[in-house]
A = this chain, B = another copy of it.
Amino acid sequence: MRVSDEELAEIPGLARCETRSMAEIVEQAKKATKDSYPHEEVYGDFCTLHTYIDCPPRDVFDYLADVHSQEEYTFSVRGLQPVDDTGLHVGWDRVDEMTRIFLRIESNPDAMTIDYHAAWDQGEDLWMIYLFRVLPAELVLKKPGSVVMMTNCHHPYYAENPYPEKSPGPDRVWVGELWRYFNAGHRIEMDNTKAILEHRHRNGIPIVPGVVR
């Protein structure tokens, strides 16, 4: 126990067994558990998708950490080329005919996190961040394979394009206008990822195929 009991007593609103009964806490949790939840409550500020994939976690990690995998599993990112030797790449986001997407992947093989730092139109300020983590399903679901999680946070630039002068045209849809559809839209790409990885794993096809430049 820490030297903190007096200090904790000063913080308003804490729910701890020293001051609230188990029955009260359970009652509070039951009241907050509903049959359904509004879209805004679940996907308003943060959007996390989860999926199970029948493919070993290290393979799934390697796949997601390879920049060219996006040219397979995304609906729209194509033609990625390195911009420099820092890992920054540029490609096309076929959501729009003329939109360039810049991105850099930062991954951690120990924690199996893979972070995509991306942006439309410019590569200096990579503010669109897709945070992936791969979990061994053996650990969390007691079965072979992987769980993949992917999170987006509602960065203020989704609400307003910070660099409108870099847009290929004034009528181009802004990515943030699609925020409401992020869960459903990325579900399509998560399903693509699952289908590709399970197909390769099942058929003994290399998980990360060679790249033709």
Contact = CB atoms under 8 A, between A and B. Distances in A.
A35 interface: yes
Contacts of A86: none
A10 B75 CA distance: 16
A157 interface: yes
B155 A33 contact: no
A136 to B, nearest CB: 10
Interface string A18-48: 0010100110111111111111001001101
B75 A25 contact: yes
Given A2-B71, A28-B188, A76-B22, A196 B8 contact: yes
A71 B65 CA distance: 37
A1 B195 contact: no
Given A2-B210, A110-B108, A111-B111, A149 B15 contact: no
Contact of A29 (B10, B157, B188, B210): B188
Copies in the complex: 2
Contacts of A108: 108, 110-111
Interface string A182-196: 011101110110011
Contact of A1 (B32, B68, B151, B153): B68
Contact of A35 (B26, B38, B129, B140): B38
A98 interface: no
B142 A155 contact: yes
